[in-house]
Amino acid sequence: MKSQTVIMDELKDLKDRIRDLLHQRKAILLAHNYQRPEVQDIADLCGDSLELSIKASQTDAEVIVFCGVHFMAETASILCPDKKILLPVLDAGCPMADMITAEELRRKREEIPGLIVISYVNTTAEVKAETDICCTSANVIQVVHSVDPSLPIFMTPDKNLAQYAKKHTGRDIMYWEGFCPIHNNLTVTQVRKVRSAHPDALFLAHPECPPGVLELADEVKSTSGMIALPGGSENREFIIGTETGILHPLSKAYPDKLFIPADPGMICGDMKKIGLREILAALKNLQPEVRVPGEIRERAKGAVDRMLAIRDV
């Protein structure tokens, strides 16, 4: 068995080789807040879907190594067609994004003409191409408010995010019945149990959680919103209602505060597929690459650009 020192030396060597190759390839490494700790620690930027999209649209790097899931790498390709977008493990997907196809969305539009379609960024590029405007968990309310109140809204694919938006905007929103298998599994019973064990803790929930869980939340936030919140709070304990990868940046940012997972079983297997070895291999081979083809990209870009244009509204 390898000693702890040998393991640490190997880890350092891997990290050094990655940083060297990032420099040589004029590449940046973006990581979602759910990624493994060692991946987040080596990233140029960690963030939620909105922050990562904005960074991808602004960087002058030639290569983006995207440590997240497939739709996130596609969004980077939509925004930066001239850059090489690497997703170190190509089958890191998002089960929620796969719950609606472009064909199903086209049929919905035929069924109800005149719909304004808002798609969560957790969708494929093909679905974005059939979409009027995208949103993320961080800007969903502003995006809904940006739509003319006389027009009917249809949201895809997350029924929970749609119901949250409906409640907080007062708009009559129709929606697709998709969901995130990880967040949708968090129950009211489980939250009540953790709350009674930590009565002083604030409960922060992600809007992908079911409506009953969101009703119990003190704050509903995107992943980066959750990371920012304890900085401005007197509270010392927080129950975290999202994927457990976020506990790493939270504990790092606030070592004197306590973060309790609402359910330690909230683990997104897809978000854990990428490790340092996969990143190194991707940088060496400049593969696997995610590239959204021209015509789909053009149409999808319209929906993403419209979202980015209202981010300060």
Shortest Cβ 261–ligand 13P spacing (Å): 14
Q: Which residues bind ligand SF4 (CB under 6 A)?
A: 69, 94-96, 122, 180-182, 208, 243, 268, 270-271
- The one-letter amino acid at 258: L
Q: Which residues pair with 85 in a beta bridge?
A: 64
- Binding partner of residue 222 among ligand 13P, ligand SF4, none, CB under 5 to 8 Å per kind? ligand 13P
Shortest Cβ 135–ligand 13P spacing (Å): 10
Shortest Cβ 221–ligand 13P spacing (Å): 8
Instruction: Write out the binding residues for ligand 13P, residues 267-306 only, by CB under 6 A.
Output: none
Give the separation between CA 95 and CA 232, rounded to whole angstroms.
34
- Binding partner of residue 283 among ligand 13P, ligand SF4, none, CB under 5 to 8 Å per kind? none
Q: Which residues pair with 210 in a beta bridge?
A: none
Asked if 223 is part of the footprint of ligand 13P (rule: CB under 6 A), the reply reads yes
- Binding partner of residue 270 among ligand 13P, ligand SF4, none, CB under 5 to 8 Å per kind? ligand SF4
Residue whose structure tokens are 């897809």 = 270
Give the separation between CA 173 and CA 280, rounded to whole angstroms.
44
- Binding partner of residue 152 among ligand 13P, ligand SF4, none, CB under 5 to 8 Å per kind? none
Q: Is 286 left (phi over 0), alpha (psi -120 to 50) or beta?
A: left
- Tokens in use for 118? 């808002």
Return the number of the residue (126 or 208) whose C-beta is nearest ligand 13P. Answer: 208
Query: What distances in angstroms separate CA 236 from CA 53, 244, 255, 262, one per listed residue?
Result: 31, 18, 10, 16
Task: Name every residue whose Cβ is closer than 8 Å to that of residue 92 and which is 6 or more positions away in sequence.
Answer: 68, 69, 70, 270, 271, 273, 274
Shortest Cβ 34–ligand SF4 spacing (Å): 6
Residue 117 burial by Cβ neighbours in a 10 Å radius (0-12, 13-18, 19+)? buried
Return the number of the residue (154 or 179) whose C-beta is nearest ligand 13P. Answer: 179
Distance of CA 190 to the CA centre of its chain: 24
Among 59, 139, 222, 244, binds ligand 13P (CB under 6 A): 222
- Binding partner of residue 75 among ligand SF4, ligand 13P, none, CB under 5 to 8 Å per kind? none
- Tokens in use for 125? 């590029």
Return the number of the residue (249 or 283) whose C-beta is nearest ligand 13P. Answer: 249
Question: Between 102 and 141, how does the x/- string for binding to ligand 13P read (CB under 6 A)?
Answer: --------------------x-------------xx----
219-220/202-205 β-pairing? parallel
A 10 A CB-CB count for 9 gives 12
Asked if 33 is part of the footprint of ligand 13P (rule: CB under 6 A), the reply reads yes
Instruction: Write out the binding residues for ligand 13P, residues 150-189 only, by CB under 6 A.
Output: 180
Give the separation between CA 248 and CA 252, rounded to whole angstroms.
6
Return the number of the residue (18 or 52) whose C-beta is nearest ligand 13P. Answer: 52
- Tokens in use for 304? 């993403």
Residues within the interface to ligand 13P (CB under 6 A): 33, 48-49, 122, 136-137, 180, 208, 222-223, 243
